[in-house]
Amino acid sequence: MATLPYTVYDADHHLYEPEEAFTRHLPKEFQDDFYFVKKGNRTKLVIGGMLSEYIPNPTFEVVAAPGTHEKWYRGANVEGLTMRELAGEPLRPPAEWRSGDGRIALMDRQGVHACLVFPTLASVIEDRLNHKPQVMAALFHSLNMWTREEWGFARENRLFSVPMINLADIDAAIAELEFVMKAGARTIGVRPAPVPNSRGVTRSFGYPEFDPFWARVAEAGIFVNLHASDSGYDVINRMWSGGGTEFVAFQNDPHKLTLDTLGRAVADSLSALICHGVFARHPNLRVVSVENGASWVAPLFYRLNHVYGQMPKSFKEHPHETFRRHIFVAPFYEDDTEELKKCVPANRILFGSDYPHPEGLADPLEYVKEFPTYNDNEIKRVFHSNLKGLLEGARDEAA
């Protein structure tokens, strides 16, 4: 196992939610919109009246082992195996993957001092219920209440669970923000996607109507994570493939992968925040891109520079400078970290392992090998200072 001479901060750990994470505190009037049913010998999720196949095993009774998809994501799958074949025999997740008990001891064994912890199944909610803002708000509130009880939002000042907030109802979003901050949250998660209204019509979360939310986040000095989710971009794949009803994880074909809907969603979301002036209006706001990789960064920088050349008066400053001040990026291990540094300085790059998901590495700290051209100070920023600073409220310079 790799070791580093300082405490390591990991921007992307996960938990596998049990059914009660969503149902324990869900009001009765919303229970018909989200529930689990038996289908043969398997448990499936019904959401918004639809039997979802988004995650084949939504109760996570068995999961793929960490790191089993590494060859796939490195583009080194020379045998041409499917993701299921690469995963091998599934395993029953240990308790420390499902509850806060034991997670810190696991982190000690891994050499990780502190981490952000994101839910897994929660990403199913928003695209399938985008016409029901009250239900989305209730589900996230239920999840956040369960997280507070079972994990805590700042457990031993090392385990920082990320509460999720939906922006469709701005008043409910602000109320949820206040609730989680009072409960100790140091950060929040927002889906990288347009925001629907009650009719399902979407618009940018960079529009001024969302300013009360961003203003409160900035005032509080916490930061926002745009973590990979089902952002609705699979509709692009369905436009090319003859239809379908929903995005299904781990089902791939070459054209679908080439579309890079993951990178498109976060690039569009961050460009909306920049181009629609959120950072100009809220200069204390900081946003982190998590589990979206970094291959989209250079193309986005090209587009932003070109658009700035076309419409310079539409920006308070060059959008590259806005990005470099306000946005942090956690690259994938398969990304070109030297190319990333040409766009984003080391003090805006984070280490995120995705543990214990199969997409991540079995040993999170092996990730340090993916930064061969970074000097010791830059490595320390990526693996220690940057996230530590954000969690402590630092802004222009990490602590």
Q: What domains appear along the chain, each with residue ranges and CATH number?
A: 9-30+96-391 (3.20.20.140)
pTM as predicted: 0.96
- The string of DSSP codes covering 322-384 is HHHHHEEE---TTS-HHHHHHHS-GGGB-----BTSTTS-SSGGGGGGG-TT--HHHHHIIII
Kindly tell me the sign of the dihedral angle through the C-alpha atoms of 355, 361, 364, 370: negative
Q: What CA–CA distance (Å, rounded) separates 261 from 258?
A: 8
Residue 399 confidence (pLDDT): 39
Torsion of CA 336, 337, 339, 344, to 10 degrees: 140
| Residue written as token pair 């436009």 | 239
Q: What CA–CA distance (Å, rounded) separates 157 from 172?
A: 28
Q: What CA–CA distance (Å, rounded) separates 396 from 399?
A: 10
Residue 58 confidence (pLDDT): 94
Residue 371 confidence (pLDDT): 98
Are the beta carbons of 8 and 113 closer than 8 angstroms? yes
Residue 248 confidence (pLDDT): 75
Angle ∠(117,122,124) on CA atoms, nearest 5? 145
Kindly tell me the sign of the dihedral angle through the C-alpha atoms of 345, 350, 351, 354: negative
What is each CA distance from 378 to 138, 343, 381, 387, in whole angstroms? 42, 15, 5, 13
Q: What CA–CA distance (Å, rounded) separates 390 from 394?
A: 5
Q: What CA–CA distance (Å, rounded) separates 236 from 124?
A: 18
What is the residue-level pLDDT of the chain in tens, covering all 399 positions? 788 999 999 999 999 999 999 999 999 999 999 999 998 888 999 999 999 888 889 999 999 999 999 999 999 999 999 999 999 999 999 999 998 889 999 999 999 999 999 999 999 999 999 999 999 999 999 999 999 999 999 999 999 999 999 999 999 999 999 999 999 999 999 999 999 987 878 999 999 999 999 999 999 999 999 999 989 999 999 899 887 777 777 778 899 899 999 999 999 999 999 999 999 999 999 999 999 999 999 999 999 999 999 999 999 999 999 999 999 999 999 999 999 999 999 999 999 999 999 999 999 999 999 999 999 999 999 999 999 999 999 987 643
Residue 398 confidence (pLDDT): 45
Other Cβ atoms less than 10 A from the Cβ of 47: the count is 22
Q: In 3D, which of 256, 254, 252, 261 has the Cα closest to residue 240?
A: 256
Residue 363 confidence (pLDDT): 96
Are the beta carbons of 19 and 59 closer than 8 angstroms? yes
Q: What CA–CA distance (Å, rounded) separates 30 from 17?
A: 19
Q: In 3D, which of 169, 172, 174 has the Cα closest to residue 215?
A: 174
Extract long-range pairs of 356-360: CB within 8 Å, 24+ residues apart.
356/13, 356/14, 356/63, 356/65, 356/66, 356/93, 356/97, 357/14, 357/66, 357/120, 358/63, 358/64, 358/65, 358/66, 358/67, 358/68, 358/69, 358/87, 359/69, 359/73, 360/12, 360/66, 360/67
- Count of alpha carbons within 13 Å of 374, Cβ hemisphere only? 26
